[in-house]
Amino acid sequence: MKKKLALLLTLLLALGTVLSACGGKNSAGDGGSENEKPKQEFRVNIKTEPFSLHPGLANDTTSGTVLRNTFEGLTRIGMDGKPELAMAEDYEVSEDGTVYTFKLRDAKWSNGDPVTAHDFEYAWKWALDPKNESQYAYQLYYLKNGEAANTGKASLDSVGVKAQDDKTLVVTLEQPTPYFLELTAFYTYLPINSKIAQKNPDWYKDAGEDYVSNGPFKMVTWEHRSKIELVKNDQYWDKDNVKLEKITMHMIEDVNTELSMFKKGELDWAGLPFSALPTDSIEQLEKEGILNIKPIAGVYWYKFNTEVKPLNNVKIRKALAYAIDREAIVKNITKAGQIPAMAAVPPSMFPENEKGYFKDNDVETAKKLLEEGLKELGYKDVSELPVIKIAYNTDEAHQKIAQAIQDMWKKNLGIKTELENEEWAVYIEKLHRGDYMVGRMGWLGDFNDPINFLELFRDKNGGNNDTRWENPQFKQLLIQSQKERDPEKRLELLKQAEKIFMDEMPVAPIYFYTNAWVQNDNLKDVAISGLGDVQLKWAYFE
């Protein structure tokens, strides 16, 4: 296991961005004869309806996949996995690292309107406006007065983003942020056509003349719960480097159907990061030599609703977490080189998290903690515990993992559980409302820094903190880390924060992610970053 982990980590560090140049035997889309030019049309399954295609409301990987290919921020993560200039053609940083002045290039929205600095200012302030309930508003807390404005303690006018003129955007930060140019590539930092958004507040809900974007592709069809079609954006400033003419994104929940369509030549890709492969097929695909596996900075975990009894008790939460056999899950269910997780931050960022904070499948300790937790809650024994409901979004692998954990908790602790599943958009809304007990979720890094895995839980009512957990010391350590200029001292503060987090266990980490997929042999230069997100700007069929 250690050798496998070392290999995976070496790959992750060495690759940064994975350029998908190898793949399956599917040759559909090659246009026929060798002398005939291939059709530049990419067909893929994204499995489910995006939560939202508004950059300020999106909070999931499906929405992010669409937005990264239709919009563009001040920067974009390049083929080498590093941020490169995009809508900004140049920038300057003040000596103290808190003021960025971006000069925008000549660029247009897909309807021909110019992209202006005002569009960025509008979009960022829209997401921070508390009435819009952006789950990802906290990503903009790096801006001066960003958090204060989002919590109603300051006006939006005081936020540190200002269009000096149409081509100049001045951004003032609360404190120096060394990864800020990675953040400006993230979808919460994307611009919005302010003229259209002010005229039509529902501009983002359907494809149509008001759904305009500024990226390499534009959306022309959105058949809800069926498919999305993108075409090359002829107004895009860098259109000469965009080779795909059309992208069709199907929404098929059954991953077996997806793989079958791939084998028939009806899809050019099957599996992550767009969807997933059937777990039962992975070993055979590997034997056939067509399976791609790449490690990414992401973690699969079970969130606990810490306001619901008995999960309001830390010992009960830890008992449940310790009684999971992660090695069995990755070996018998997921089967794609995933790494058992006994920590929150991936080992690519904290190498010591290869070992983590507790032993995997530590049933003896789990039983002891359960007994102590029952006493603290006033229960005579485990039979008096309410049935614990495990929620997950519809998916074969999520179902198998939930069933396995259900069996483990029953066998190891005598705890009764029920399984609940919902379609993704319904499921994630229920988690955000706190309408769950235990819910599966994954987190892929938005940018390459450990704070991204911890800041989710900084505030009880924070955008993606569905656990309702909060700890003042944890919060203070995160705040201190953002002010600390010494990189080593900063990492130490983050490690102290993670220790508190794992000791209180608002989530039970299960495994660290890999991406597993098969693809058309002729498809080249699909860019998958070390964080697992995907871009098609440079993709083409050979």
C-alpha–C-alpha distance, residues 395 and 488, integer Å = 41
Q: Where along the chain do the CATH 3.90.76.10 domains lie?
A: 41-256+520-541
Query: In a 3-state reduction of DSSP, which class is residue 44?
Result: strand
Query: Is pLDDT larger for residue 231 or for residue 485?
Result: 231
C-alpha–C-alpha distance, residues 62 and 395, integer Å = 14
Residue 16 has pLDDT above 80, yes or no: no
Phi, then psi, of 386 in degrees rounded to 5: -65, 155
Q: What is the mean pLDDT of residues 371-375?
A: 97
Query: In a 3-state reduction of DSSP, which class is residue 424?
Result: helix
pLDDT digits (tens, 9 = 90+) for 220-278: 999 999 999 999 999 999 999 999 999 999 999 999 999 999 999 999 999 999 999 99
Judged on CB neighbours under 10 Å (0-12, 13-18, 19+), 497 is buried
C-alpha–C-alpha distance, residues 343 and 224, integer Å = 37
Residues comprising the chain, all counted: 542
Share of the chain above pLDDT 70, in %: 93
Residue 189 has pLDDT above 60, yes or no: yes
pLDDT confidence of residue 72: 98
Residue 19 has pLDDT above 70, yes or no: no
C-alpha–C-alpha distance, residues 268 and 261, integer Å = 9
Q: Which of 193-197, 481-485, 518-522 has the lowest mean pLDDT?
A: 481-485
pLDDT digits (tens, 9 = 90+) for 69-93: 999 999 999 999 999 999 999 999 9
Query: Is pLDDT larger for residue 30 or for residue 107?
Result: 107
pLDDT confidence of residue 425: 86
Query: In a 3-state reduction of DSSP, which class is residue 180?
Result: helix
H or E element: which one contains 421?
strand 417-422
Q: Where along the chain do the CATH 3.10.105.10 domains lie?
A: 291-516
Distances (CA, A) of 227 to 82, 205, 246, 504: 31, 14, 13, 42
Contact 352, 312 (CB under 8 A): no
Which residues does 275 contact at the CB level (< 8 Å), separation at least 6?
A: 44, 45, 46, 47, 252, 255, 258
Residue 12 has pLDDT above 60, yes or no: no
pLDDT confidence of residue 221: 98
Residue 29 has pLDDT above 90, yes or no: no
Contact 434, 466 (CB under 8 A): yes
Q: How confident is the model at residue 406 (pLDDT cuts 50, 70, 90)?
A: very high
Residue 62 has pLDDT above 80, yes or no: yes
| DSSP-assigned letters across all residues of 372-414 | HHHHHHT-SSGGGSPPEEEEEES-HHHHHHHHHHHHHHHHHH-
pLDDT confidence of residue 353: 95
Q: At what angle are helices 487-504 and 314-322 packed, to 10 degrees? A: 100
Q: Is the peptide bond before 273 cis (omega within 30 degrees of 0)?
A: yes
Tell me what the pLDDT averaged over the chain comes to: 92
> Does CATH number 3.90.76.10 belong to domain 41-256+520-541?
yes
Q: How confident is the model at residue 310 (pLDDT cuts 50, 70, 90)?
A: very high
Residue 26 has pLDDT above 60, yes or no: no
pLDDT confidence of residue 487: 87
Q: What is the CATH number of domain 291-516?
A: 3.10.105.10
Q: Which of 21-25, 79-83, 400-404 has the lowest mean pLDDT?
A: 21-25
Contact 540, 524 (CB under 8 A): yes
User: Which residue in this structure is represented by tokens 């930092």?
Assistant: 189
Cα four-point dihedral sign 15, 18, 21, 25: positive
pLDDT digits (tens, 9 = 90+) for 119-142: 999 999 999 999 999 999 999 999
pLDDT confidence of residue 447: 86
Does the predicted TM-score (pTM) go above 0.85?
Answer: no
Residue 383 has pLDDT above 70, yes or no: yes
pLDDT confidence of residue 463: 67
Contact 323, 310 (CB under 8 A): no
pLDDT confidence of residue 10: 38
Residue 444 has pLDDT above 70, yes or no: yes
pLDDT digits (tens, 9 = 90+) for 141-171: 999 999 999 999 999 999 999 999 999 999 9
C-alpha–C-alpha distance, residues 317 and 513, integer Å = 23
The pairs formed by 150-159 with CB atoms below 8 angstroms and a separation of 24 or more are 156/125, 156/128, 156/129, 159/124, 159/125, 159/128
User: Which residue in this structure is represented by tokens 């069926």?
Assistant: 226
User: Which residue in this structure is represented by tokens 């969807």?
Assistant: 275
